[in-house]
Amino acid sequence: MNKLERLMNLVAMLLEVRRPATLEQIRNSIPDYRKQRSMASFKRMFERDKSELREMGIPIRVEPVDAFGEETGYRIPKEEYYLPEVEFTLEEKAALLLVSRFASGGMIPLSREASSALLKLSPDLGRSGEEGPLRIPVRFAHPAESPEALSKLWEASVRRKTVRFAYRSLGSPEVRERSLDPYGIYFDRGAWYVVGFCHLRNEVRSFRLSRMDRVELVNPDSPDPDFRRPAEFRLRDYSRVLPWEFEEGTEYQAEVRLSPRIAWWVERDLGDVYPFRCLEDGGAVIKVRVRNEDAFFDWVLSLAEDAEVLSPPGLREKTVRRLEEMLEYLEGEGK
């Protein structure tokens, strides 16, 4: 007899018994167990099955068989096993099917757990009648970076557990061991990052998941938190830091005029971070915080003739110089 068949029968039996089933009863009932020659080999088999089912979250209880309490038996209380029934509207079903599609892509923490929850919920998401199941015209084709590391980092931040990992910084071939008190994780433009207090630098920093290796908890065996997350910590203060706001150096404000052709697009991208002033022609003036000028030029010059640096005057001059240098460079190359 097939093992799955045996497990199904065991669950079915323990759900239906009126009184807890004794080992003897279980052995005499289920064909696979009956076939075992000795009580000992049956017990081994049953113990293995029981622990597998418990690992899946099936509540197998051990209880006295009768009021005398001399003999114990096993049962699965229905009220603990059954998923409460939930009635969803059609829109809610569609939304949850979308979540199911999303989770199966593996791009979020605990995606495997979410998928398994949604599988259990599937009877409540189905649509009776002739229409068949709802179809969702959406796909998530994002390659999963490393679902295990992602889940581990997120859980560590929720449980306040210090982690350690090997990290390759951008632009440096060197791999360094880091330890970090993770405060939270964020996803931006296709990549996951973890933010936390870095013990190497003694400050709060972001790390990109794709550059991490061998993520592990520093104190896996202790259930207690390893650190406290500062009450004033806000993930947003880190997740929306733009490339030209990184690095040391003094911060100043720059004004950039955007043409009507792209102002809407830049506003969609940065409107939540910087003040926008709309102009009558459909363009806009945006006030940007700058610390890293190289990164600022990468961005503003890629907008080409659709962006003009207005102020401060020093930055405007540097912009002109950059463009002139580029022209010279191109002409030099051309020879």
Q: According to CB under 8 A, which residues from 17 to 56 bind another protein?
A: 29-31, 52, 55-56
Distance CA 162, CA 180 (A): 6
Q: Closest CB to another protein among 251 and 269?
A: 269
Asked if 302 is part of the footprint of another protein (rule: CB under 8 A), the reply reads yes
Q: Which of 40, 57, 68, 228 binds another protein (CB under 8 A)?
A: 57
Measured between alpha carbons, how far is 44 from 295 in angstroms, rounded to an integer?
A: 65
Q: Is 327 in the site for another protein (CB under 8 A)?
A: yes
Q: If DSSP codes are grouped into helix, strand and coil, which group holds residue 188?
A: strand
Angle between helices 3-16 and 39-55 (to 10 degrees): 80
Out of 38, 89, 202, 250, name the contact with another protein by CB under 8 A: 89
**How far apart (Å, rounded) are the C-alpha atoms in residues 164 and 198?**
10
Residue in 22, 36, 112, 198 binding another protein, rule: CB under 8 A: 112
Please list every residue from 273 through 292 that binds another protein, using CB under 8 A: none
Specify the residue, 69 or 129, whose C-beta has the smaller distance to another protein: 129
Total residues at interface with another protein (CB under 8 A) = 126
Q: Are 31 and 45 in contact (CB under 8 A)?
A: no
Q: What are phi and psi of 62, to 5 degrees?
A: -105, 120
Q: Which residue of 15, 144, 217, 241 would you call a contact of another protein, by CB under 8 A?
A: 15
CB 134 within 8 A of CB 127: yes
DSSP string, 287-311: EEEES-HHHHHHHHHHTGGGEEEEE
Among 39, 62, 119, 200, interactor with another protein by CB under 8 A: 119
CB of 272 to another protein, least distance (A): 9
Binders of another protein among residues 172 to 231 (CB under 8 A) are: 172, 183-191, 210, 229
